[in-house]
């Protein structure tokens, strides 16, 4: 492995881990925001308490996950400079600004909102607390948009001109309306809903199989299943449209991804040679396998994710044994499809960093192989270890059920106050001063 392979492997490992957390974050924050909105829409205190219990449970899983979303995002941000300084030299003017907007506009605000929300139960007024979770959701999607503007540019560069080997933006609106960005965003919106829905199904069906908290988890199973179904429809629909457009702006990728062989591939290779000169311009053939796997899993999921809903409505749990086990299979399938999707998009872009403009090899910084290996090992160990801790914690809290949820844990959320779900967010309790002094 040379230094380029090591840098790519490092990016692949950290980006894939980052995206696993991010996808769940994006899906779940939407669910939590909707749940909290529903809780506030009722004025009946018992009903409101019951609904806030849902916010605390799913919100608790979301918050654990969020921690690793941040931590893995930090490694992403730093490795651009550490490993890919060729990118900032040639394309800094183009990709730097959207990335800056992302970090400042989105994360800076998002993390501040999230902190206020997570620690603000019982501290800020109910209405403000609801606005905060919507603030988190909007800024999370905004950050996704800006990062996908960059990624879309790598796939299909638009709206720029080269001067002395340095790219300059000539037309921001072309960058912001890039099809390679928008089709992917739509596809991702479906993917995150699908993932959040499947996770809801998996957690709910676990408790239903054990006959616990039926009133809490039956509706959750139905909602999760429907959310996943809607997500799958959007995913597949956007994916099909996306596939059509790929042929036009990344014909070499399209040829490999569609599993063409022999003459078809040769034709794509010839066309690329005519455009870029002699060389091998096709991505590695195994990308085709990843793509087909994603497609197949997508079609299977499109059918199967609707099934668990029925077990949530059935009164006799025994009739739903199969349906209650199904989510345990759907969850790994979704995750595999998700990773395969990124592999086909990103490896399918090879050998280009920016299609037709900059190769991966030219984008690498002046780093020794030893230095690259060191960062690969360090990041993989730290992030891998923390991810294991994180997944075990999520599993632990998911199994604990509604009242073991993290957001009910006064210890982790010192300022959350004693649980009193009739006051979601809640105006500070009359006895607040007394409570605060008792620390």
Partner 1 sequence: MDVFWYSLVGVLLAGYLALESIDFGVGMLLPFSGDEASRARMRRLVVPLFLANEVWLVACVGLLFGALPVLEGALLQALRLPVLALVCAWLLRDAALWFRQAHPGSGWRRVWDSVLPVSSFVLAAGWGAVLGAMVRGLSTRAGGHPVVDPIDLVHPLPLVCAASAVAACLCQGALFAARGLPADGTAARRAARLNRVASPVVLGLLVLVGGVAAAVVDAPARVAAVAGGAALCVAGSILLARAGRATPALVLGSAPLWALPLLVGVAHGTTVLATRSGAGDLTLGEAVADGESLWLLSVTVLPVLVAVVAVQWWFWRVFARVRPAVAAA
Looking at 75-83, 221-229, 230-238, 308-316, which segment touches partner 1 (CB under 8 A)? 75-83
Q: How far is the CB of 145 from partner 1 (least distance, A)?
A: 12
Closest CA to 387 of 60, 65, 15: 65
299 binds partner 1 (CB under 8 A): no
In the set 73, 122, 224, 365, which binds ligand HDD (CB under 6 A)? 73
Q: Are 114 and 413 in contact (CB under 8 A)?
A: no
In the set 18, 129, 156, 223, which binds ligand HEM (CB under 6 A)? 18
Q: What is the DSSP secondary structure assignment for residue 414, as one 8-state letter?
A: G
Exposure string over 141-154, b if 16+ CB within 10 A, otherwise e: bbbbbbbbbbbbbb
15 binds ligand HEM (CB under 6 A): yes
Site for ligand HDD in 92-111 (CB under 6 A): 103, 107, 110-111
Closest CA to 413 of 120, 5, 84, 31: 120
Q: Are 90 and 163 in contact (CB under 8 A)?
A: no
> Quick one: tokens of 431?
């006895």
Site for partner 1 in 76-115 (CB under 8 A): 77-78, 80-82, 84-89, 92-94, 96-105, 107-109, 111-115
Site for ligand HEM in 220-239 (CB under 6 A): 235-236, 239
Q: How far is the CB of 56 from ligand HDD (least distance, A)?
A: 20
Number of residues binding to ligand HEM, judged by CB under 6 A: 47
Site for ligand HDD in 109-128 (CB under 6 A): 110-111
379 binds ligand HEM (CB under 6 A): no
How far is 25 from 389, CA to CA, in rounded Å? 17
Three-state DSSP class for residue 296:
helix
How far is 197 from 24, CA to CA, in rounded Å? 10
Sign of the Cα pseudo-torsion (252, 253, 256, 257, in order): negative
In the set 3, 311, 353, 372, which binds ligand HEM (CB under 6 A)? 353
Q: Are 345 and 287 in contact (CB under 8 A)?
A: no
Looking at 122-130, 293-301, 376-384, 401-409, which segment touches ligand HEM (CB under 6 A)? 293-301
Q: Which is nearer to partner 1, 96 or 259 (CB)?
A: 96
How far is 44 from 42, CA to CA, in rounded Å? 6
How far is 156 from 256, CA to CA, in rounded Å? 17
**Which residues lie below 8 Å from residue 238, measured CB to CB, with a gap of 6+?**
183, 186, 187, 189, 190
Q: Which is nearer to ligand HEM, 205 or 291 (CB)?
A: 291
Q: Which is nearer to ligand HDD, 84 or 254 (CB)?
A: 84
Sign of the Cα pseudo-torsion (370, 376, 379, 380, in order): negative
| Residue 32's binding partner out of ligand HDD, ligand HEM, partner 1, none, with CB under 5 to 8 Å set by partner kind | none
Q: How far is CA 103 from CA 110, 134, 182, 239, in A?
A: 9, 18, 20, 28
Site for ligand HEM in 153-182 (CB under 6 A): 154-155
| Residue 26's binding partner out of ligand HDD, ligand HEM, partner 1, none, with CB under 5 to 8 Å set by partner kind | ligand HDD
In the set 196, 379, 407, 423, which binds partner 1 (CB under 8 A)? 379
Contacts with ligand HEM, residue ranges (CB under 6 A)? 8, 11-12, 15-16, 18-19, 84, 147, 150-151, 154-155, 184, 187-188, 191, 194, 235-236, 239-240, 242-243, 246, 253, 294-295, 297-299, 301, 334, 337-338, 341-350, 353, 360
């Amino acid at each position: 492995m040379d230094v380029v392979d090591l840098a790519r492997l490092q990016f692949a490992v950290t980006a894939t881990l980052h995206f696993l957390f991010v996808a769940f974050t994006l899906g779940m924050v939407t669910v939590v925001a909707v749940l909290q909105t529903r809780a506030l829409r009722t004025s009946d205190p018992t009903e409101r308490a019951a609904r806030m219990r849902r916010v605390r449970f799913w919100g608790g899983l979301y918050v654990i996950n969020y921690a690793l979303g941040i931590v893995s995002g930090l490694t992403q941000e730093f490795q651009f400079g550490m490993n890919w300084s060729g990118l900032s030299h040639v394309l800094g003017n183009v990709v730097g600004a959207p990335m800056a907007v992302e970090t400042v506009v989105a994360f800076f605000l998002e993390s501040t909102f999230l902190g206020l929300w997570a620690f603000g139960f019982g501290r800020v007024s109910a209405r403000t607390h609801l606005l905060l979770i919507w603030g988190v959701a909007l800024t999370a999607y905004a950050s996704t948009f800006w990062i996908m503007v960059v990624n879309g540019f790598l796939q299909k560069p638009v709206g720029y001109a080269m001067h002395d080997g340095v790219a300059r933006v000539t037309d921001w609106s072309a960058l912001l309306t890039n099809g390679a960005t928008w089709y992917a965003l739509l596809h991702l919106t479906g993917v995150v809903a699908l993932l959040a829905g499947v996770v809801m199904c998996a957690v709910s069906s676990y408790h239903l199989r054990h006959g616990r908290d039926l009133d809490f988890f039956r509706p959750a199973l139905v909602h999760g299943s429907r959310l996943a179904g809607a997500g799958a429809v959007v995913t597949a629909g956007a994916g099909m449209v996306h596939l059509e457009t790929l042929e036009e702006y990344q014909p070499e990728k399209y040829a490999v991804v569609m599993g063409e062989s022999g003459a078809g591939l040769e034709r794509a290779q010839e066309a690329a040679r005519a455009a870029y000169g002699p060389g091998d311009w096709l991505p590695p053939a195994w990308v085709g396998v990843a793509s087909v796997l994603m497609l197949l899993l997508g079609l299977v999921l499109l059918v199967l994710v609707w099934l668990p809903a029925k077990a949530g409505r059935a009164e006799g749990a025994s009739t739903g044994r199969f349906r209650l086990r199904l989510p345990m299979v759907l969850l790994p399938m979704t995750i595999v499809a998700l990773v395969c999707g990124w592999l086909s998009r990103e490896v399918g872009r090879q050998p280009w960093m920016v299609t037709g403009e900059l190769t991966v090899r030219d984008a690498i910084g002046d780093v020794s192989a030893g230095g690259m290996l060191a960062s690969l090992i360090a990041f993989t160990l730290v992030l891998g270890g923390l991810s294991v801790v994180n997944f075990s914690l999520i599993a632990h809290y998911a199994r604990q059920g509604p009242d073991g949820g993290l957001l009910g844990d006064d210890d982790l959320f010192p300022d959350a106050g004693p649980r009193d779900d009739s006051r979601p967010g809640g105006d500070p309790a009359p006895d607040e001063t007394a409570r605060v002094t008792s620390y």
